[in-house]
Structure 1
Amino acid sequence: MAAAAAAARAVRSVWRLAGLAGLPGRGAFLAPQHPQRTSQLLCIATQEKGTGPNLEEEPNQTQHEQKSDTGSAEKMLIEEKAKLEEQLKEITDKYKRALADAENLRQRTQKLVEEAKLYGIQSFCKDLLEVADVLEKATESVPREELKDENPHLKNLYEGLVMTEVQIQKVFTKHGLMKLNPLGAKFDPYEHEALFHVPMEGKEPGTVALVSKVGYKLHGRTLRPALVGVVKEP
């Protein structure tokens, strides 16, 4: 009896898998005279069971797909991070260059302003140099042997010229204008202008032997070179 019940349950399972449950006359297929039909149904059930969805493989496949998606997302994030870092570096470099250019411009502008303050009186000073030259020549032209009490007018005139010359030199010094009298100094083409060369015993060649006109410098910059004669080798 137990064997018969188990066989009946197996057949019912076959009917359910074959989709024939509930059809009329299904009991006829269970009769001994239809063993071939029963065998066919068992084969169909076995095939459907073998081709059905594998529930054990689906979770593994889903996990693999999730890992693949995660790896792709991480790769995209890494690439995007690299692009952003490159853009940040480029923008930072441009910003630093802009700051450097702005600082250089500020320094150049400041230098131009300072030079304008220092050398803005350059043309005016050049005009005053002619006045200083006239005073110097006038002072030098007075004969020293005539400066006696017997010639008070000449003496007073000479003293007035000297005082005026001293005063104008003080004004020049106040505004950064310095006299250059390079007698005996080494010839400097940036401060001196050679008018002639002359041999002279006891003097080193290349030194200034004679000053025809003194020079001037304004805040360290040569405003007018001294006109000189230079000692040459004998």
Structure 2
Amino acid sequence: MLSRTIARVASIVGRSGEAGLLSSSSRLSVALNSTQAAESSNGSTEKFELKDVKGLRLSGDAYFNLVRERTVKEGEDDFQLKVPLPAFEPLLKEYDTLIEEGKDYKDRYTRALAETENVRRRGMKQVEDTKVFAVQGFCKDLLEVADILDLAVGSVTEDQLKAASPEMKILFDGVKMTKTVLMKTFAKHGLRPSNPIGEQFDPNLHEAVFQVPKEQAKHSVGHVEHVMKIGYILKERPVRAAQVGVVKE
């Protein structure tokens, strides 16, 4: 297509020069208008795309061959004889370079976007962890209070409670209610007690204070037989290990 256009322009410009009737600029304008009119009347104008049917960009060589196939007809001169190949080569090389640079920049952008998203997610997780475990230190300070309340409630037997005066019963009920409210507050913030009696000993959750001979134990070897002080767990994270006695061989 391009070769025929150039040939027509050259022919028209040549004829106009022989006639000597028009200036150079006028001859070129007439040649272009005549060529466009001829192509329009013949309906031979073709549209060239830099992408294939799948929407993928063509390489420089692929585009060059596409133009050659559509332009050079059977029996005509080769395309590169009408449009010099050296004039096309810089364009094709630059085009291929730009495609490779575009791929590189796209790859870098994708990687940077993924890394930014990972940083954002890690930041959000750290913020959430900070919110969840911000009360950890305060909870540890209150565990001693919970231990004292446990001792106070557990030190009174049923017989002693029955024989106690009404005032003592009211005091006991007040201490027991205080313990209940404190445990509800712990549960509200994700802190729960861990009483591991009968469980397999876990050094991450339990602190072995003493050992119990298996002849004197109700549980298997390596299991918790006694609990001296219960442990506490905050959102699946141990806050305090339970102090236990473990069955030995």
TM-score by length of 1: 0.67
Question: Partner residue of 2:152?
Answer: 138
**Mapped pair 1:208 → 2:224:** yes
In the TM superposition, residue 210 of structure 1 has moved relative to its aligned partner by: 1.0
How far the C-alpha of 1:157 sits from its partner, in A, is: 2.2
> After TM superposition, which residue ranges in structure 1, 4 or more long, deviate above 3 angstroms?
none
SS at match of 2:109: helix
Deviation at 1:145, TM superposition (A): 2.2
CA RMSD of aligned residues (A): 2.1
- Among the aligned pairs, what percent are the same residue? 46
1:168 aligns with 2:185: no
Other-structure match for 1:92 = 106
Give 1:20's aligned residue: none
For 1:109 and 1:150, locate their aligned partners in 2 and report how far apart those are by CA, in whole Å: 58
Partner of 2:199 in structure 1? Answer: 185
How far 1:231 moved relative to its partner?
1.2
Q: 1:13 is matched with which residue? A: none
Instruction: Please list the CA deviations of residues 42-92 of structure 1 after superposition, one character each: whole Å capped at 9, or x if unmatched.
Output: xxxxxxxxxxxxxxxxxxxxx99x739722233323322221121111111
Q: 1:77 to 1:197 in 2, by over 3 A?
A: farther
Distance 1:226 1:73 in 2: 84
More moved, 166-175 vs 142-151: 142-151
Distance 1:171 1:150 in 2: 30
Structure 1 residue 185: Cα displacement:
1.0
Aligned to 1:107, which of 115, 121, 124? Answer: 121
Gaps of 5+ in 2: 1-76
Question: Which residue identity lines up with residue 222 of structure 1 in the other structure?
Answer: P
Deviation at 1:119, TM superposition (A): 0.8
2:132, 2:168 → 1: CA distance? 39
With the length of structure 2 as denominator, give the TM-score of the two structures: 0.63
Task: Describe the superposition over 1:136-183 as per-residue Cα deviations: whole angstroms up to 9, x where unpaired.
Answer: 111122243211255323322222211111111011111111011111
Asked whether the equivalents of residues 149 and 155 of structure 1 are also in contact (C-alpha less than 8 Å), the reply is no
The residue type equivalent to 1:191 in the other structure is L
CA displacement, residues 12-70 of structure 1 (integer Å, 9 cap, x when unaligned)? xxxxxxxxxxxxxxxxxxxxxxxxxxxxxxxxxxxxxxxxxxxxxxxxxxx99x73972
Unaligned runs of 5+ in 1: 1-62
List aligned pairs for 1:22-33, cutoff 5 A: none
Distance 2:193 2:94 in 1: 70
Match of 2:135 in 1: 121
Distance across 2 between alignment mates of 1:156 and 1:189: 41
2:48 aligned with 1:67: no
Which of 208, 227, 234 pairs up with 2:243?
227
Alpha-carbon distance in 2 for matches of 1:200, 1:68: 102
Q: Secondary structure at the match of 1:186?
A: coil
Map of 1:196 onto structure 2 = 210
1:147 alignment partner, SS class: helix
